[in-house]
Amino acid sequence: MRPPEARFEPDAPLSYSADIWSLAFAIWEIIGMQPIFSTAFATADELVSQQIDVLGPLPSSWWMHWQERNHFFDDDGHPKEGRFVWPGIELAFEECAQKFRRKRGSDFDKEEATAIIDLMRRMLVFRPEERPTVQEVLQSDWMVKWALPELRRSSHAKQFS
């Protein structure tokens, strides 16, 4: 999944923050068992509208540059009547990750779910300079309290099996 700056700032070189966007997309897909955005048969403009639905408004300069916005949103930035509106990130997490896991009796508790959503929100911001560094990702609550300890447990168990 290409980060939004690849579309809206095509002449600017991609930086490590583009990898943070892609990592968030990968983490979501693993946790949620499906992508946060539907890339199947979606045009580039449909993908932008999904990203806005889930994550909130584009930076104003990108919004003004996006010529196809009037196909998806009115002049005030609200979704056009009659089009499918993707759920915000909290509801998307509930529908993707939690619903799937509940069927198997292993949903995330409230504290972990909050930590995951917080990390995803920070990694999936539109402006690349506002995304966390990889060090900040590794020091996030979710990584420190859940992901990295689980990795150590599973690696330790694998050594002795």
The ranges assigned to domains in the chain are: 4-131
DSSP for residue 72: T
Angle between helices 16-32 and 110-123 (to 10 degrees): 150
Task: Give the mean pLDDT of 48-59.
Answer: 97
Beta bridge partners of residue 79, listed in sequence order: 73
pLDDT of residue 133: 98
Q: What is the pTM of this model?
A: 0.92
pLDDT of residue 62: 98
Superfamily of domain 4-131: Transferase(Phosphotransferase) domain 1 (1.10.510.10)
What are 113's two structure tokens?
Answer: 């779910």
pLDDT of residue 157: 64
Task: Give the mean pLDDT of 36-59.
Answer: 93
CB of 89 within 8 A of CB of 120? yes
Q: For residue 28, what are the contacts with CB-CB under 8 A and spacing of at least 6?
A: 35, 36, 96, 120
Q: Check whether 161 has a pLDDT greater than 80.
A: no
Q: Check whether 11 has a pLDDT greater than 60.
A: yes
pLDDT of residue 39: 79
What are 36's two structure tokens?
Answer: 């946060």
